[in-house]
Amino acid sequence: MAGRAQAVATVQVDNEQVIVTEWRFAPGTETGLHCHGYDYVVVPMTAGTLLLETPEGDKYATLVAGQAYFRSAGVKHNVVNASEHEVVFVETEIKTAR
């Protein structure tokens, strides 16, 4: 959907092994459509609901504060805060080979 404000991404670490980014989403803000080039782990700092706009259709994801999850490289989506409050998570992209 055109006209959405962008979520705020703050890179905390970017080295040869990882990229660690704090994401802050005001209600209704988005990341913009992107494809993950690395495997990654997300640790929600707040609870909330995200709308994931994907090539396969829209999906909703419920975040639980402190409950981490892993995704493989290649995920393509736009992430939108569908909550009525700010949602914050920390994303760690894993650059090193397994």
- For residue 45, the domain's CATH number is 2.60.120.10
Q: Is there a domain that residue 2 lies in?
A: no
Q: Which domain holds residue 32?
A: 8-94
Q: Is there a domain that residue 50 lies in?
A: yes
Measured CA to CA, the distance from residue 76 to residue 79 in angstroms comes to 10
- Write out pLDDT tens, residues 84-94: 999 999 999 99
Q: Is there a domain that residue 84 lies in?
A: yes
Q: Is there a domain that residue 36 lies in?
A: yes
Q: With 0-12 CB in 10 A as exposed, 13-18 as middle and 19+ as buried, what is 71?
A: middle
Does 98 have pLDDT greater than 90? no
Name the pTM for this structure. Answer: 0.92
The number of distinct structural domains making up the chain is 1
Q: Is there a domain that residue 3 lies in?
A: no
Q: Is there a domain that residue 55 lies in?
A: yes
